[in-house]
Amino acid sequence: MPVEVTFELPYTEWGWKVGFYVAMIGIASGAYLMGYIADILSQKRNEPSHGQVAQYGYLAGILGMAIGPPVLLSHLATPFRALMLPMTMTNLGSWMALGTYLIAGFVLGAFLMFGWTAFGTERPHRRAVAADGGTDHGTARAATGDSTANGIRGVASRVGLLDLLDTLADKTRPSETVRLGIGAVFGVLAAGVLVYSAMAYGSGPTERVALWDPTFLLPVKILGGLAAGLTVAVGFAAIANRPVGRTIQNYSLAASGLLVATLVAVLAAITLLPEQLPAAEPAVENLLSTHATLFVGGAVVGGLVVPILLSVGAVVGQRRGALSPAAATGAYVAAAALVVVGKVALALAYLMAAEFAPLPLPM
């Protein structure tokens, strides 16, 4: 007589912290990659306005990494031991070890690229120097945006770090070609982190959790990370550049497209996965019943559908003159906030709804 052994749920092993961590590293790596694309476009088209998205994409990468990994460390029994990477993370066949190295490299890259684009008098994408020529400490500085400007330079100026950061950035920044080359190398690491944000769930030789089948999880996580990352970068850029210009509006439309692609990937996963892997059926049922508030309400509607409507609506409203600049900025920021909440909700729903495939045992 065959019997099925059912053990604890995956959520009891990992808890909310792993879900939160996976969501944050997905957003951070996606933001970096979209920021890097904007960085390239800015240079190729000689349009500094792209640079705003680049700069805030890199910043979102740093913030995501500042929040996510510490939460994961708090889940571990020995967080300080885990930090001794070269001595502890020695099994490169494990996605956790691989992901840890990818993250360590990526964090360095996000810091460098952000610092080089946001600080220094010779930073790329800076606004044109004022017609009067000015000086480094006079009119030109105001024109190029620092203490009088919104955004991260304004923040740095207010806390008294702007001069130090500008000096550091100017002294370390390589030529544009080399900088973008370095950015590409770190982009590969960011892409690795994005894949890891899926494989942190979807790895393991026994494929014990059918809901995390990589065939369906990878598109959801990769598209979701890129979409959320770009939406967050646009949200930051919208706060720093009021009223929001046409270039950032275009990025908002691109983010909407990625959010739509993510929505399609999620819908494909929940409709096709049970057909491909019958063992996943109970978990998909959990997503749509027990955890429907989190998955349907938080992740799909709150984290994808509403941000799509907000992003597209804000652009259309601005271009038709039907929306005030403040309202448009509010819509971009709200979309970014909802996308972050939705990404966390999606990761948590995928963790809480998951079940180990029962082990059929003959008696």
Partner 1 sequence: MSTQESDGGTARVIPNWESCIDCGACEVACQRTWDLPPESDRIQVVALEHGTENETNKPMQCYNCSEAPCIDVCPTNALRFRNDGTVRVAADECIGCHYCGVGCPFGAPQYPDAEVPEAEESSPMGAKSDGLMDKCTTCEPRQEQGLEPACSSECPTDALLFGTPDELSEKLQEDGVSTPFNEEAAGIVFGDDADEVMGD
Query: 8 phi and psi, to 5 degrees?
Result: -60, 165
Measured from the CB atom, is 91 or 289 closer to partner 1?
A: 91
Measured from the CB atom, is 139 or 203 closer to partner 1?
A: 203
Q: State the Cα–Cα distance between residues 359 and 159, nearest whole angstrom.
A: 58
Name residues whose C-beta falls within 8 Å of residue 326's C-beta, 6 or more positions apart in sequence: 242
Task: Supply the minimum distance, in Å, between the C-beta of residue 72 and partner 1.
Answer: 9
CB 189 within 8 A of CB 36: no
Instruction: Give the footprint of partner 1 on this chain (CB under 8 A).
Output: 1-8, 10, 13-14, 75-79, 81-82, 88-91, 93-97, 100, 203-206, 208-209, 359-363
Name residues whose C-beta falls within 8 Å of residue 193's C-beta, 6 or more positions apart in sequence: 25, 28, 29, 99, 102, 103, 106
CA 291 vs. chain centroid, Å, equals: 24
Measured from the CB atom, is 208 or 306 closer to partner 1?
A: 208
Task: Supply the minimum distance, in Å, between the C-beta of residue 149 and partner 1.
Answer: 43
Measured from the CB atom, is 87 or 131 closer to partner 1?
A: 87
Cα–Cα nearest to 20, from 69, 86, 92: 69
Task: Supply the minimum distance, in Å, between the C-beta of residue 87 and partner 1.
Answer: 9
Measured from the CB atom, is 25 or 296 closer to partner 1?
A: 25
Task: Supply the minimum distance, in Å, between the C-beta of residue 2 and partner 1.
Answer: 8
Measured from the CB atom, is 199 or 220 closer to partner 1?
A: 199
* Type and span of the H or E element at 362: strand 359-362
What is the residue-wise DSSP string for 293-323?
IIIIIIIIIIIIIHHHHHHHHHHHHHHTT-S
Q: State the Cα–Cα distance between residues 210 and 275, nearest whole angstrom.
A: 12
Task: Supply the minimum distance, in Å, between the C-beta of residue 89 and partner 1.
Answer: 5
Task: Supply the minimum distance, in Å, between the C-beta of residue 96 and partner 1.
Answer: 4
